[in-house]
Amino acid sequence: MTSPDSEPDPDGRWWALTIMAVAMVLAMTTWFSAAAVLPQLGDRWELGSTGGSMLTIAVQLGFVVGAVVSAVTNLADRIPPRRLVFLGTLLAAAANLGLLAADGLATAIPLRGLTGLALAGVYPPALKSMAGWFRAGRGTAMGVMVGALSLGSAVPHLVNGIGGLGWRSVVVATSVMTMAGGLVAELVGRDGPFRFPVAVFDPRWATQLFTQRGLRLASLGYFGHMWELYAMWAWFAAFATTRFDERSWSDPAQAAAVATFVVIGTGAVGSWLGGVVADRWGRTLSTIIAMGASGSMAAIIGFLTDAPTWLLGLLSLVWGLTVVADSAQFSAMVSELADQRYVGTAITVQLAVGFSLTVLTIFLVPVLRDGPGWGTAFAVLAAGPAIGLAAMIRLRRSPLATQLAGGRG
């Protein structure tokens, strides 16, 4: 008799993954819509470094609140995942459009927080929907979905970089794309046939993430990854603008916007490759490679002030490729190592702590940039991958690794 775990992945899974990935690329464009036009908003609202940071930090904190509320209320079990994605995109698009009427941080920050809260109803349910299509190839599928998140996060920079569009056009365009993503998920997508037990959120079990060795190591890896990821995504455009300006480009802001889209968007390929490596050779190996490469780039790229443009571009692409390549695998590890009755609690706590950590580095980078400079600002981010790398090496050497990726570690 065939066990559920040995049941082959069903026909139609790749088409379903393609549809949901397209929906995610469109839906996640509102995440960095304000960050993409930060120079214009900074001039309009007279924002300093702290004000600019708060626009992105508000999204991160909103996402944390949304994820916790969703877990406590079991929304993802009460509402079909694709319907929840659709509703989340409507709220995110409306909150994003609210920026058009905002006259400063007092109104913009709550709107950005609401955008993050809404996107907590988009991204996690989309992952759940796709997990329902894949067992044997789940690492690859999750990698594709994180890649869609990466590409969607980069799109606002492309919109800002082509044709000299104003910040209002970027806000409107990203809102329309987000609504379109929800419609694609609702009308064209399909949830997978594999069913999951009802996710139970029990705060009494939240501590297992820190007390059980395997979960603790997997979470340390994720926290180190998050320490670097969103700060890099949030501030790479500012770094690129500085470098293009130093090289006397005719329009450094526009060139930086396009470059940022390419660099962050490259993460889509990295996430797919990370999933392929995880499914074939193990999750720990996939994360070790990714964090080793991205941490190295963070440690050196800001100091290369006199490096030729082609070299900076190459290193930036490597950074963009690897900085998100490991992301999907940490949640997969927790789902494999945690008590199966409380996987929902464990993943929610992991997400909440990880996204809360991003607040620190998003705030810290511009402070260090205005002090020691970009070299120190980005090198501080390398501490996260270093800690995560050490945790993954320990987990790979542990007998617990046999529980990961079908015994491949």
**pLDDT value of position 248:** 66
Which two structure tokens, joined as six digits, stand for 130? 């796709």
Q: Give the gyration radius of the chain's Cα atoms.
A: 20
From 165, 193, 221, the end of a domain falls on 193
**pLDDT value of position 346:** 78
Most confident region among 68-77, 151-160, 343-352 by mean pLDDT = 151-160
Question: Within a domain: residue 241?
Answer: yes
113 & 252 share domain: no
Q: What is the span of the domain harbouring residue 304?
A: 208-404
- The confidence band for 211, taking pLDDT boundaries of 50, 70 and 90, is confident
Task: Show the CA angle centred on residue 249, arms to residues 246 and 255, nearest 5°.
Answer: 105
Burial class (CB in 10 A: 0-12, 13-18, 19+), 13: buried
Could you tell me if 331 and 347 are in contact, meaning their C-beta atoms sit under 8 angstroms apart? yes
**pLDDT value of position 35:** 85
Question: Within a domain: residue 282?
Answer: yes
- The confidence band for 210, taking pLDDT boundaries of 50, 70 and 90, is confident
Most confident region among 191-200, 314-323, 334-343, 345-354 by mean pLDDT = 314-323
Residue 27 is part of a domain; what is its CATH number? 1.20.1250.20
More confident call, 81 vs 86 = 86
**pLDDT value of position 275:** 86
Task: Show the CA angle centred on residue 81, arms to residues 93 and 193, nearest 5°.
Answer: 150
**pLDDT value of position 67:** 85
- The confidence band for 5, taking pLDDT boundaries of 50, 70 and 90, is very low
From 162, 193, 224, the end of a domain falls on 193
Which two structure tokens, joined as six digits, stand for 341? 């009755």
What average pLDDT does this structure show over 209-223? Answer: 91
More confident call, 191 vs 376 = 376
What average pLDDT does this structure show over 18-28? Answer: 92
What percent of the chain stands above pLDDT 90? 48
Cα four-point dihedral sign 232, 184, 74, 333: negative
What does the pLDDT look like over 267-309, one tens digit per residue? Answer: 999 998 998 898 889 899 999 999 999 999 999 999 998 889 8
**pLDDT value of position 4:** 42
Which two structure tokens, joined as six digits, stand for 352? 């909440």
What does the pLDDT look like over 241-261, one tens digit per residue? Answer: 888 877 767 677 788 889 999
Length of the chain as a residue count? 409
CA distance 246 to 252: 9
Among 36-45, 54-63, 235-244, 293-302, whose mean pLDDT is lowest? 36-45
- The confidence band for 163, taking pLDDT boundaries of 50, 70 and 90, is low
Question: Within a domain: residue 4?
Answer: no
What does the pLDDT look like over 89-124, one tens digit per residue? Answer: 999 999 999 999 998 889 999 999 999 999 988 888
Helix orientation angle between 283-300 and 383-397, rounded to the nearest 10 degrees: 160
Residue 113 CA: distances (Å) to CA of 27, 72, 98, 187, 349: 16, 19, 12, 28, 19
279 & 169 share domain: no
- The confidence band for 1, taking pLDDT boundaries of 50, 70 and 90, is very low
Which two structure tokens, joined as six digits, stand for 100? 């058009």
From 193, 228, 245, the end of a domain falls on 193
In the chain, the number of structural domains is: 2
**pLDDT value of position 253:** 78
Most confident region among 209-223, 240-254, 310-324 by mean pLDDT = 310-324
216 & 187 share domain: no
Question: Within a domain: residue 201?
Answer: no
What average pLDDT does this structure show over 315-337? Answer: 91
**pLDDT value of position 2:** 38
187 & 272 share domain: no
Question: Within a domain: residue 348?
Answer: yes
CA distance 34 to 99: 9
261 & 238 share domain: yes
185 & 303 share domain: no
Of the candidates 128, 135, 275, 266, the one whose C-alpha atom is nearest the C-alpha of residue 189 is 128
Question: Within a domain: residue 396?
Answer: yes
Q: What is the overall mean pLDDT for the chain? A: 87
- The confidence band for 193, taking pLDDT boundaries of 50, 70 and 90, is confident
223 & 347 share domain: yes
**pLDDT value of position 8:** 74
Name the region of 198 (left: φ>0; alpha: ψ -120 to 50; beta: rest).
Answer: beta
- Whether the predicted pLDDT of 7 surpasses 70: no
What percent of the chain stands above pLDDT 70? 93
276 & 150 share domain: no
Residue 99 CA: distances (Å) to CA of 31, 50, 76, 106: 13, 18, 28, 11
- Whether the predicted pLDDT of 177 surpasses 50: yes
- Whether the predicted pLDDT of 167 surpasses 60: yes
131 & 269 share domain: no
Of the candidates 130, 116, 85, the one whose C-alpha atom is nearest the C-alpha of residue 332 is 130
189 & 325 share domain: no
CA distance 17 to 124: 14
